[in-house]
Amino acid sequence: MRPARTLIVNADDFGLTGGVSRGILEAHRTGIVTSTTVIVNRPIDPVLLEALRASGLGVGLHLNLTLGPPVSDPKRVPSLVDAEGKFIRDAREVAARASKDEARIELGTQIDVFRRLLGRFPTHLELRTPDHFVGESGPEPYWTAERVLQQLASLPGGVSEFMTHPGHYDEDLAYSRYGTQRDIELRGLTDPRARELIEREGIRLAHFGDL
């Protein structure tokens, strides 16, 4: 008998842009996405926020110290911001100059903002710029339909996570090196063959709050 397999399919970056947020909701509604992480220091359309609350997605917090403005007063976290009061984009520079106490202030405030927006605690916490990655990482779209099917077919026993970035490309993503690739990931994660394979293999879909 094969060991039990549980899969969390987490879609990063809810709140990054309207197109990304809509794509994540679609990837859950018509695909295999079970979880998302919210960036709370960017404006989120109230309609999309309400749709997220009602979606059934597990919702975590995308802790962010490298994009946009802080949610706390920039004067309280001077080591984290540039002359314009926005986060320093270069993660290495942030790591070199950031005060631990100021980072604690900002990250704690992001948790408070999340609770105010969602009315609950996050299912999990995630860093915007992680310091580790298992697998390939580059400019090409990662979760193509072919890769989704391949990884599902070889999923090991226990709990696994697919870290994904589906979305609809919009003008607000023009700055990003990972923009149009999100549309391809969205197609891969909503390919009906993926759901069929999950059911055939007896894989349990879950989010971090289920563990």
The CATH number assigned to the domain holding 184 equals 3.20.20.370
- Count: domains in the chain: 1
Predicted pLDDT of residue 134:
44
Helix (H, G, I), strand (E, B), or coil: what is residue 78?
helix
User: What does the pLDDT read at residue 178?
Assistant: 84
**Structural domain for 168, as ranges:** 5-210
pLDDT in tens, 15-63: 999 999 999 999 999 999 999 999 999 999 999 999 999 999 999 999 9
Query: Would you state the pLDDT for residue 115?
Result: 98
Q: How far apart are alpha carbons 32 and 190 in whole angstroms?
A: 7
pLDDT score for 186 = 98
Closest to 51 measured CA to CA, from 5, 118, 123, 107: 118
Number of neighbours of residue 132 by Cβ within 10 angstroms: 5
Name the DSSP class of 1. Answer: -
- Two tokens, residue 82: 């540039």
For 7, phi and psi rounded to 5 degrees? -125, 125
| Closest C-alpha to 164, from 132, 197, 180, 188 | 188
The structure tokens listed for 24 are 């994540």
pLDDT of residue 138: 57
Residue partners of 189: CB distance under 8 A and separation at least 6? 9, 11, 27, 31, 32, 33, 143, 148, 164, 166
Each residue's pLDDT tens digit, 135-193: 444 567 899 999 999 999 999 999 999 999 999 999 888 888 888 899 999 999 999 99
φ and ψ at residue 134, rounded to 5 degrees:
-100, 115
113 has a pLDDT exceeding 50: yes
Residue with tokens 């270069």: 90
Longest dimension (CA), the chain: 60
